[in-house]
Amino acid sequence: MFRLTDVPITQEPMLVEAAGGFVTFEGKVRNHAMGRSVIRLEYEAFPDLAIPEGVALLEEAKAKYGLLSASVIHRTGLLEVGDTAVLIQVAAAHRHEAFAGCEWIIDQLKHRVPIWKKEHFADGDSGWVGADVPSPNEDLYRALVQRQRSTEEVGEVGQTAIREAKVLMVGVGG
């Protein structure tokens, strides 16, 4: 089941007697994005396409991972820090397929389904992710950060300092 809602998400139990592994993912609003402080997120969807695409995605997940059940609820509207934006539940006979299938679903949802996110920052600015503000390339970011973290001269302390630093750029023409 793929459902959109504009009210806070509540989780329904998934009842599948042949399943031993049940995995739930909750995507929540965090208070930072790309180094900036976030106060709320605004989600917008195009239901006519989002729902069929979401349903198709879940059918693919079930076929690919042998899931016995898979469901997504995605919230739209204005969400505060800590609110749940998306709830994914999967059930499989065994845990490996459940974990892998759940991760695949959120990864696919992020680039296939017509749902958009606008970040509202603490400084009053706001921007649509992927247009006004960059989409985080999470894999690349993780790889770069990991390299810096494991460099002795930088380390975890250095990585935190880099993330929290502010940079002033001054252009003087010419």
Partner 1 sequence: MTITVRYFAVLRDRRGLAEESISGDFTTARALVDQLIVQHRLDLPSALIRIAQNGQFVADDSPVNDGDVIVLIPPVAGG
Interface residues with partner 1 (CB under 8 A)? 27, 43-46, 48-50, 74, 85-86, 106, 109-118, 128-132, 135
Distance CA 46, CA 78 (A): 16
What is the Cα 107 distance to its own chain's centre?
8
Of the pair 45, 68, the CB lying nearest partner 1 is at 45
Report the residue number, 62 or 117, with the smaller CB distance to partner 1. 117
CB of 19 to partner 1, least distance (A): 23
* 95 CA to centre of own chain: 22
CB of 64 to partner 1, least distance (A): 18
Report the alpha-carbon distance of residue 165 to residue 153 in Å, rounded: 17
Q: Please, what is the minimum distance in Å from the beta carbon of residue 111 to partner 1?
A: 6
Q: Extract the runs of DSSP E, i.e. beta strands, from 46-168.
A: 69-75, 77-80, 84-92, 115-121, 126-128
**Shortest spacing between CB 158 and partner 1, in angstroms:** 30
Residue at 36: amino acid letter = R
| Residue closer to partner 1, measured from CB, 120 or 149 | 120
At 173, the amino acid letter reads: G
Smaller CB separation from partner 1, 86 or 91: 86
